[in-house]
Every structure is written in C-alpha cells, then in structure tokens.
A and B are shown apart, each in its own frame.
Chain A
Amino acid sequence: MTESFAALLAVMAAAAFLCRVAGFTLMRYVPVSPRVEAALRATPLAVMAGITVLALQAGGLAEGLALASVVGLTLVLRSDVAAALLGVVVVALLRWAGV
C-alpha cells in the first residue's frame, strides 16, 4: 500500500457517490407508468422485510423476541418510531438478562 490517504479517500468517496447517484440518474430515462410506480412503492416494503429477516437470521432468541415486540407494539401504539425505540430497549434488557 503506497498510495496516499488522500488518494484512498478520493477513490472510496467516488465509489460511494456513484452508488448514490447512478440509480437515480438512470431512472430519469424510465417512463413511470402505473406499473413501474407499483414496483417503486413495493420496494421499501420488500427491503424492510429483507432487513428484518437478515437480523433474525443473524440474531438469536433476544433479537427475535425484540423484533416481534416491535411488530406488536406498532399495532398497539400506532407509532412505528416509538415501537422501534422500545424494541431496542427490549433487546438490551434481554441481552443483559442473558437471553
């Protein structure tokens, strides 16, 4: 590794920037039909389901119980943000209790 830190930083920043803008820029040339709109609307739901499943796979009982409580609390409290923050408290307590 002989490159300077500035060169490393520039290369890494370029890659990260490319990812941020490329999908956005390409999408400018896709006509947004109702079908495409349905796909765009569905994407965050699928990504959120994916993130949740990965956390379940990587985690154990504590993580599973915490995420299940987030789903339940969201329905009960009608606030997803409050439920998410409480979920973090649940997993911290369960880990502390040795689950």
Chain B
Amino acid sequence: MSRALFSIDGFRRGARDGVPLALSIFAYGVGFGLVAAQAGFGVGKAVATSAAIYSGSAQLAAVNLLQTGEATLWALFATILVINARYLLFGATLQPWLWAAGPLRAYGSLLLLGDANWLMTMRAIRAGEVDRAYLAGTGAPVALGWLSGTALGAAAVSVLPRPEALGFDLMLACFAAGMMTAMIKTRTDLLPVLVGAGTAFGIFQLLGPAPAIIGAGLAGAAAAALVHKEPS
C-alpha cells in the first residue's frame, strides 16, 4: 500500500495555521497552572499533568476531584473518559484521511489532537489538504503554548492578569463561529449547523456542556447522513 504524503512542508503549513490557536491555548495554560498551583501542585507536577492529559477541561475536572480528597483512581479515570468522550468523535472523523499516512504517523499525530486543531484540520481537509503531517503541525505550537502556559501559571505568578479579562476564554467559541461561517458553502451545510445548535441547546439544559458537544456532533452527522442522496 502506498502511503499518503507526510512531509515537513505539510507540518510547516499546519504549524503556521496553529500559531493563532496557540495564543489562546497559552492563556488557558496559564489559567490551568494557576488552578493547579492553588491545589498544591508545583510547577513540575502541573506541567506533567498538562503533558500527560493534554486537555484543559479534563485536567480542571481532575484537579477539582483531587482537591476533594476523595478521588479514587476509578473516579479519575471515569471523569476524564466522560469529559473527553468528544475525542472519540474527533478521531472517527479524521480516520479516513489520517489512516492513509500509516499507523505510526497516524497514532503519533493523535497524541497532539485537541479541540482547536481538530477544527483547523477538518477545515483544511475540506479545502483539499492532502499532507497528513498538517495535523501534527497544527498541534506543535498548541502543545508548546499549553505546556509553557501551565509552567508560567503554576509558578504562582499572581501578577498575571486573569485570562478572562483579556477575552481569551471566548477564543475557542470565536474560532468555532468564524470557521463555521467560512465553511458554510451550500444549503446542505446549513442543516448540520442548525441541528447541532438545537441539539447542543437542548442537551445543555438537561445534562450539561460535555454531552452537549458530543450530542451536537452526532445529531448533525445523523441528519447529514439521512438527507444524503446517492448520485443517480
């Protein structure tokens, strides 16, 4: 089997596109570092956590759980599984494209998978990106921002402004709104947007934010599959 393109050029393209994302992830990393420091983590432990889990929402939940002093290993495992369940969907959508790079490169790239660079990469795939190194490229500056932000925050730099004051907490939503707008090209594209928005709204009321995102993705995918017409 011949393998898909996986080159330094593709990696560079991804890295360039990942820089604006890395800015907000850096600010988030500072936020996590501050929380971890308050929970008694030193810089080393905070950075190790950021490297090992590499997911802001899951890490915040884990630190909260650890702070209660009643966390079991199973509770930690389950918490992260539930909060990060959306990654099951992210991985599945990347599979047909990424698998063509071969198992080692594909699984290696998945280590750098996050919310923002998944969106960025899905947008690039849609625009015709064929170089599979693009995903790892977008992940590299983001990972750097996340780890350095965590270190800075955990070093208890209480003089830092809170990320909220600078609007960084809204960065992912801003990227989502912008990319969504740019990706709506035909009327067919409006269906998953409307179904996703409605589903997220409903599930959030009932169950909270983590299942709302997964529900939105699944409902949008199902709706698109239902209305899909085979070319005759």
Q: Which of A's residues lie within 8 Å of B, judged by CB?
A: 1, 3, 5, 7-28, 30, 32, 34-55, 57-59, 63, 66-67, 70-71, 73-75, 78, 80-81, 83-85, 87-92, 95-96
Smallest CB gap from B41: residue in A: A5
Q: Which of B's residues lie within 8 Å of A, judged by CB?
A: 17, 20, 24, 45, 48-49, 52-55, 58, 62, 66, 69-71, 73, 76-81, 84-96, 98-99, 106-107, 110-111, 113, 115, 118-119, 122-123, 126, 164-168, 170-184, 189, 191-197, 199-201, 204, 209, 212-213, 215-217, 219-225, 228, 230-231
Contacts of A8 in B (CB 8 A): 66, 73, 76
Number of A-B residue pairs, CB cutoff 8 Å, is: 290
Contacts of A35 in B (CB 8 A): 225, 228, 230
Minimum distance in angstroms from A16 CB to a CB of chain B:
5
CA A85 to CA B113, docked complex, whole Å = 21
Contacts of B90 in A (CB 8 A): 23
Interchain CB contact under 8 A, B197 and A19 = no
Interchain CB contact under 8 A, B217 and A81 = no
Query: Looking at chain A's contact residues, is the secondary structure mostly helix, strand, loop, or mixed?
Result: helix
Smallest CB gap from A32: residue in B: B96
Interchain CB contact under 8 A, A46 and B196 = yes
Smallest CB gap from B79: residue in A: A15
